[in-house]
Structure 1
Amino acid sequence: MTFDYRNNVTESERLRVLIVGGFIDYQIQLANSLVSNGWEVEVAITRKSIPEDYENCYNDGINIYPIGRGKSKRDPSNIFALLEFWSKLRKFNPDVVHMQLGGTFTDFSLLPMLRIYPLVTTFHDVKLHRGEASLRRRFYRYWLRRASDHIFVHGDFLKSQMISEYNVNPDIVHPIAFGEHEVDPFIRNANINQEEVDNTVLFFGRIFEYKGLDYLIKAEPMISEEVPGVRFVIAGVGEDISRYLDMMVHRDRFDVRNYRISYEEGAKLFQECSLVVLPYIDGSQSGIIPTAYAFKKPLVATSIGGIPELIDDGSTGILVPPKEVGTLARAIIKLLRDKELRQSMGEMGFRKLKTDMSWERIADRTITIYNQAMTQR
């Protein structure tokens, strides 16, 4: 079956983009920015990826339709879901399709339909995290690297990695800022009267080996010795938390919230904390960074992947080598002891968020590449 994406498009019509895939928080911000720039936007996402508290985050005029599936991949009803998607796709007739490759989204059945149109893909992670590199996911990413007309990655480090490790044409790989990411829903739930709680260190997000939580736990005795009353908040879900609990020397120093954190609770945690820590041992970037910036909180993070492009060492936070417990502890101690430095870094981070990482800048860059993709087809 063939279908010409240019059929019935006139100069008077707004350009149309279909955004598909995972990383729904990024999709929301991108969709809103494109609509503000005059584009017509539709978003397709798996049903299980649409939390109720996200639905009111989209601007008016953005059509969201879930990609339905049965209870299993072998469920016969899946064929009807695919036909429904194909019908909606043809009706919308996008000028460009933008895949968001993040999370675990790997729906092979959509790929032949989407490839008919100019295809742009954002690889939020160039390499899969430890424990996530299944054969299915590797092949899915391989296909998209080959099928995409243009590719976005978050920074120069990840562009070099995409080119050197996967032999992708440098001319189609474009670094782009990570953006304000999941900031808006947290800020909307913030309490203006909430104050910082002294000596509070926040570890926020998914809990998996690559996040390096064990190194923060190992650093706790050194930090506690220098900063009496220090408190560590660990908030998020992931792998079995019991192994981390067993590592804790002073269990009473830790406030462990091993469940999915709502935006309201998350906003409170960011407002209460003195600093945010990212002791990662692997990874590309982190959505926690722009959220910390939005709340004017300094960061202590490891210098892995593209993180040094998101955190200005000594200005918006402190970068340390991965797996170095002593260096991590000393950086946290330094910030906890210096409120003026924390406030200065928080202000600088907020400024970076609203300039280098602004959605206006990202939308401009994205539209430029969309136009290239449409012209080259």
Structure 2
Amino acid sequence: MSSLSIFKAPATLPASFGKPMPDPLRSELSVMVVDPSCYSLPYDCSLCEALTQSCGCRVTLARSEYMSSTWNWPGSFCEWKHFYSLSHQYARRFGGKWWWRHAKGVEHVFNMAQFVKRLRCQPPDIVHFQWLPIPALDSLQVRKIKDFAPAVLTLHNTGTLAHGSVSRWQRSGFRRVFDDFSAVIVHSQFSKRRLLEKKWVSEDRIHVIPHGPLQYYNPEDRCYPQKTAQEQTLLFFGRIEAYKGLEVLIRAFAQLPRDLLNNTRLVIAGAAGFALAPLRKLSKRLHVEGRISWDVRFIREQEIPALFRAASVVVLPYLDIDQSGVLMTAIAFDKAVVASRVGGIAETIQDRVHGLLTEPGNVESLAKALESALTNTELRHSMENSVRQLRTRELSWESVAQKTFAVYQQVCG
């Protein structure tokens, strides 16, 4: 096999792509949503389904095979698994070697070029990127897309165009990417202000559309027992990074009254982006290690519902954030939250209505909020009811899709 033959052409576009829907009441707007690495697959699928059902768009989600676990979304939109077929095939057979990510990056460059070439032959009305894994190189392809279709970007994180911990290579080219998009969608006024302060995007191209709740599929799972009246659960969920304030949470947890502490469990669930040994030592030094359950690994989507159902309160002690997918998962399960007053969280959660807000990094403030949420059952139930209304009204996917569709109409002229 020649060195070039490994970059064989991917499967063709879905058969339904580019063909009009038979219902005359539907918009007939064709939309290509793009998330090469499945960084936000639950969000992608929710948005695609809502655009299809609520706005009548003909939507195709271009992505890769989801490697983390089995993904089975029963959606009415099309899916095109165009990216990383060779890299993922190798990883499934031999595991992720140290050089695997570099090989995946090389394949990404070829895949993006093929992607644009195929779109040019059968152009959609809108190309909507969720993430750009390699901004410096991806911007060259976005520039080509502009020749035949408007391009829209959802900027989930104003710090990076990739997800999680990223390399210096993935951060390069970040600024100049925005020039090639007809519209940039952010999830909060906080993110909009940050973009304007950095002068990355003109105000007329920025659109604030809330992040919808992440409603994962819900198979039976017995890994995590339901909470009982005798023991309450605080849930800290998601990838563990320094900016998420876990140390602040452990210190605040240790300040709870002893009788309350003895009947409360702190569940820490998620893969770690840094060494947790110092935090484990801290919990032991504060004499709370027996009340903390550490489940430090990637949590499969199938396990998420049981985790959130078992939680009394979901805690987000973040030091900095644009908007939180964990928050949107808590909202999907109608959970009251205790969270820092940072970024888009403070725009989504009203203090003492949907949850309790504290100042970031303030241990004493967080400890008081945790105690209040755990001991004031009436307040907690009231906040849960308010979260349920938030989920079905302002943050509903129907509302998100309609606002997104309005952006599409604007850039299409």
Higher alpha-carbon deviation: 144-153 or 78-87: 78-87
Among 140, 145, 150, the alignment partner of 1:114 is 145
Among 246, 256, 274, the alignment partner of 1:223 is 256
The answer to whether structure 1 residue 161 and structure 2 residue 215 are counterparts is no
Among 246, 267, 280, the alignment partner of 1:245 is 280
SS in 1 for 2:371: helix
The answer to whether structure 1 residue 136 and structure 2 residue 169 are counterparts is yes
2:94 is matched with which residue? none
1:17 is matched with which residue? 31
Q: For residue 114 of structure 1, what is the amino acid of its counterpart?
A: I
Deviation digits for residues 250-280 of structure 1 (CA, Å, limit 9, x no counterpart)? 2111100001112332211211111010000
Deviation of 1:152 after TM superposition, in Å, equals 0.6
The answer to whether structure 1 residue 284 and structure 2 residue 322 are counterparts is yes
1:236 is matched with which residue? 270
Deviation digits for residues 73-104 of structure 1 (CA, Å, limit 9, x no counterpart)? 498766764564245323441111111138x5
Counterpart-to-counterpart distance in 1, 2:368 and 2:107? 57
Q: Which runs of 5+ in 2 are unaligned?
A: 1-17, 88-99
Counterpart-to-counterpart distance in 2, 1:335 and 1:296? 14
Deviation of 1:124 after TM superposition, in Å, equals 0.7
Higher alpha-carbon deviation: 80-89 or 22-31: 80-89
1:62 is matched with which residue? 78
Identity %: 28
1:5 is matched with which residue? none
Q: Cα distance 1:199–1:161, how it changes in 2: closer, same or farther (>3 A)?
A: same
Q: For residue 19 of structure 1, what is the amino acid of its counterpart?
A: V
Q: Cα distance 1:189–1:366, how it changes in 2: closer, same or farther (>3 A)?
A: farther
SS in 1 for 2:185: strand
TM-score by length of 1: 0.86
Superposition RMSD in Å: 2.9
Q: For residue 196 of structure 1, what is the amino acid of its counterpart?
A: K
1:207 is matched with which residue? 240
Counterpart-to-counterpart distance in 2, 1:246 and 1:161? 37
Counterpart-to-counterpart distance in 1, 2:368 and 2:145? 50
SS in 1 for 2:357: strand
2:3 is matched with which residue? none
The answer to whether structure 1 residue 32 and structure 2 residue 46 are counterparts is no
1:88 is matched with which residue? 118
Structure 1 ranges of 4+ moved more than 6 A: 8-13, 74-79
Deviation digits for residues 316-348 of structure 1 (CA, Å, limit 9, x no counterpart)? 100000111011011001111112211111111
Task: Verify the 8 A CA contact 1:223 1:230 in the aligned structure 2.
Answer: no
Task: Verify the 8 A CA contact 2:190 2:343 in the aligned structure 1.
Answer: yes
Higher alpha-carbon deviation: 145-154 or 285-294: 285-294
Deviation digits for residues 138-174 of structure 1 (CA, Å, limit 9, x no counterpart)? 4343132211111111121211111122342111111
Counterpart-to-counterpart distance in 2, 1:50 and 1:111? 26
Q: For residue 169 of structure 2, what is the amino acid of its counterpart?
A: R
1:352 is matched with which residue? 390
